[in-house]
Amino acid sequence: MTDPFWRARARAGLALIVALGVAGCSIQPNSAPRDVPEAQRPQLDTEPDAGQAIGAGRVFLLAGGSAETRLRSVPREAEPGAPIIQSLLDGPNEGELDDGLQTALPPGLELYSARPTGSTFTIDLSDELLNLNSAQLRVAIAQLVFTASEIDGVSDVRILVDDTPRTWPDGRGTLRSSALSVHDFPDVAETTQPPFPAIPSPRPD
């Protein structure tokens, strides 16, 4: 029969071997800072690219060629109301220009006021807006309507020039004197919905 003393020594030695094995398999922290390989650095970069817009606000710019122009929403770090409309008037930033985004709003256009009255948002602008041709004006008005309609509680938009009401083209080019909504510009903005999947053909019997 084995001596109890030696049995206890054997158990202690086995426990020590198991403990060392577990420690060897665990992930050990670095004892000192180390350089991250360049190939792995993009995974760790959380800063936005230079020229990349950020923020919870949205403005609508033009994307696509002249025959297929669509409004595309892009983020802006601007408060709802006059600041977000002014951000739209400022136009695309450098990164957005590189991506081919444009605006139909004319340079030098000034914002006099932007204020809600109930669910209607009224924008008063300078008369540079009247220098656009009919096609440009239709898209410029759509940019204003879609951007203002992103503000909570806004359902339609009234646009003035020098505090004077005007008639503006809707998405079909029809002149309207009433306030406009996004529903007056069907198929103008890019959709965020994925395309419907193709319907599978019936299987032959």
> How far are the Cα atoms of 17, 39, 73, 86, 122 from residue 142, in angstroms, in the given order?
74, 44, 12, 15, 14
Question: Is it the case that residue 111 has pLDDT exceeding 70?
Answer: yes
Question: Is it the case that residue 107 has pLDDT exceeding 90?
Answer: yes
Give the per-residue pLDDT at 11: 56
The model's confidence at residue 162, banded by pLDDT at 50, 70 and 90, is: very high
Name the more confident of 46 and 77: 77
Q: For the chain, give the percent of residues with pLDDT over 90.
A: 59
Give the per-residue pLDDT at 13: 52
Question: Is it the case that residue 68 has pLDDT exceeding 80?
Answer: no
Give the per-residue pLDDT at 46: 39
Crossing angle of the two packed helices 82-90 and 134-149, in degrees rounded to 10: 140
Q: Are 105 and 142 in contact (CB under 8 A)?
A: no
- In whole angstroms, what is the distance from residue 142 CA to residue 135 CA? 11
Amino acid identity at 10: A
Instruction: Give residue limits of the domains in the chain.
Output: 57-184
- Which DSSP category does 131 fall into? G
Give the per-residue pLDDT at 6: 45
- In whole angstroms, what is the distance from residue 111 CA to residue 174 CA? 25
Unique residue bearing structure tokens 């609508």: 60
Q: Is 26 exposed, middle or buried (0-12, 13-18, 19+ CB in 10 A)?
A: exposed
Structure tokens at 77: 């770090």
Average pLDDT over residues 7-15: 51
- Residues 177-201: tens digit of each pLDDT: 999 999 999 988 886 544 444 455 5
> How far are the Cα atoms of 41, 77, 86, 146, 153 from residue 157, in angstroms, in the given order?
46, 22, 15, 9, 11
pTM exceeding the 0.85 threshold for the entire prediction: no
- Residues 34-55: tens digit of each pLDDT: 454 555 444 434 344 444 555 6
